[in-house]
Amino acid sequence: MTETTNHPTYESTTERVKAWLDGSTLHIRFNNPARHNALSVDMWEAVPPLLRVAREDGRVRLVVFSGEGTRPSCPGRISRNSRTCARPRKPSSATRPWPKSR
């Protein structure tokens, strides 16, 4: 993230995830069309920092996820990387942004 006139810009940590702000809409586009935009580890890790910036940016009212290519989809993570792709962990009460339901 870089600052320009006190507004953040959205720069992804990988070229396989594009992000830009259009008015009050943050667009996050997966750019892996050869694999139908299946998520690789670098793509998976690029999204949370973008969402953290968006949460603090008062201009953002909507986040739209999309995929590159003529047949965009996102079937999940790339299976051949499954040994190196960390499983999502359950949020602890310290990191959970919502109250625990009873």
Tell me: the pLDDT tens digits for 44-72? 999 999 999 999 999 999 999 999 988 75
Burial class (CB in 10 A: 0-12, 13-18, 19+), 72: middle
Confidence band for 89, pLDDT divided at 50, 70 and 90 = low
Of 33, 39, 37, the C-alpha closest to 81 is: 39
Task: Output the six-digit token pair for 55.
Answer: 């949460």
Average pLDDT, the chain: 78
Cβ atoms of residues 82 and 44 within 8 Å: no
pLDDT value, residue 84 = 44
Residue 11 — very low, low, confident or very high, per pLDDT cuts 50/70/90?
very high
pLDDT confidence of residue 8 = 80
Cβ atoms of residues 24 and 59 within 8 Å:
yes
Residue 34: band (very low, low, confident or very high) from pLDDT cuts 50, 70, 90:
confident
Handedness of CA 39, 43, 48, 50 (dihedral sign): negative
**CATH T-level assignment (fold) for domain 3-74:** GMP Synthetase; Chain A, domain 3 (3.30.300)
